[in-house]
Structure formats: structure tokens, C-alpha cells
Amino acid sequence: MRILMTIAYDGTNFSGWQKQKLPEVRTVEGELEKALRKLFHDPALECIGASRTDAGVHALGQRAVVDVETTIPVEKIPLAVRPFLPEDIVVTKAEAVPPEFHPRFDCVKKTYEYRFWNAPTKNPKERLYSAHQAKPLDVEQMNRAATAFIGRHDFAAFCAAGSSVSSTVRTIFDCHAEREGDVVKIFVTGDGFLYNMVRIVAGTLMAVGLGKLTPEALPDIIESGDRRQAGQTAEPQGLTLLEIYY
């Protein structure tokens, strides 16, 4: 039976989602597989994840599948695996899916949130989940700029070096910013994302919010395909994978 799990985790103490060759490197996938192997008494069990989040990045709606033989009711798997998981990972939902279902290839869109703590002084409670920006961010200008991302574009200017994808074309369905007190949130929904793309989008919108870039500059930056023209790559701790849609 193929089981699709929804997983939430605090990425602070992980070297990203994907397990590494060195067993001492702590990853979300590695810890999840250890727990599932204990639960299902299968030392060879492996899971397939939907999104490879980076070190320090969080998730509320990560997805992964696992193939198992079990008498545990599917809806009880989140509760059953809980004692085997570390405190910074939770399986929030489990459901049966067809054997041919693939969590990455069958995905139609994903939503990420990026958070800035936008106040003169840092907030210790926010340090692991937001990037600090002391100068005021102009959310109205950020939203004007964000509309340039919406649609199908070549996002080569928003891809970090080291990516091996065959195409840098992606579709963005929504991109906008919101302020809640001292927190500025950026939400991005797309059919897929390049390496560090959301963090570069966040860094670029931060530059707009600071007045370093104008909203009118964004279409030309996208068109250029030049990574040097976009903003900085925002820090990983501000990023959370909110949801994956099928």
C-alpha cells in the first residue's frame, strides 16, 4: 500500500530534507525513515519526498510517500509513528494513494511563506523563523513589484548557482506581501521552484521595500535572466513550505 504523508518540521537543526551519504548528517528524510522503519519493522524502507527544502528551512505541509504492508489503519499512522520521531518532526496526516502516485511529479502547485521581522530591534522568539530587517519595509511597493512574478516566465535570474535543471521556466499563480504588526510575510504559489528561487524573490522584494529597487525594474530583471540583477538570497530560517497541492 502506498501511503501519502503530510509532514511538519522545524528545520533549525536539520541539514535540509534530503538524506546525505554521511550518516551523522541530520536530515528530515533520514529521521523520518528511521522512525518509519521502526514502526513497520522494515529496515530497507525508504520514502520519496515532494520537495527538497534546504538547511534551516521549515515546513507545515511537506509531503512524502512510503510503500508498506501493515495492519495499522492508515488514518492512525500519524499517531503510531509519533513515539519514534524527534520533537522537531510531526506527521500530521496519512492517506492511501494509488501505487503509481508520485509526490513530486503529480504536484500541481506549492505555496511558500517568507517572514521578515521588521522592527529596529531583533526579537529572540522570531530569530529561528524570520529574517530580521531593521529598516521599515514598504509593503505597498513590494506588492506592486510582486505582480511582475505572476505568470509563466523564465526565472533564470532567480536561480542560485549549482542548479542542474533542464528548464528555468516556471509558472507563478500568486505572489503578494502582507504586514501583521512587525512581521512582513511574503506568499508565493507556483507550479515549481528553482534552487533558492523563493528566497531570491523574497530578497528582491525586500530591496523594493527598502527603496533600493523600483517595482518597475522587476520585468526587466526577469527578462534579463541575470542573477546579478536580482536581490540577495534571503536567509533560510524565514522560509516555510506551507502546502503542496495535487
What is the rounded distance in angstroms from the CA atom of residue 174 to the CA atom of residue 138?
19
- Contact between 133 and 206 under an 8 Å Cβ cutoff? The reply is yes
Among 219, 209, 200, smallest CA distance to 114 is for 200
Q: Is 244 helix (H, G, I), strand (E, B) or coil?
A: strand
| Amino acid letter, residue 74 | V
Q: Residue 42 catalytic?
A: no
Q: Which of 10, 42, 54, 106 is catalytic?
A: 54
C-alpha cell at 21: 551519504
What is the rounded distance in angstroms from the CA atom of residue 49 to the CA atom of residue 64?
4
What is the rounded distance in angstroms from the CA atom of residue 85 to the CA atom of residue 82?
5
Among 200, 197, 192, smallest CA distance to 230 is for 200
What is the rounded distance in angstroms from the CA atom of residue 50 to the CA atom of residue 38?
22
C-alpha cell at 80: 503510531
The 8-class DSSP code of residue 128 comes to T
Name the pairing type of β-strands 131-132 and 239-245.
unpaired
- 37-72 as b/e: b if 16+ CB within 10 A: bebbebeebebbbbbebbbbbbbbbbbbbbebebee
Which sequence positions are flagged as catalytic? 54
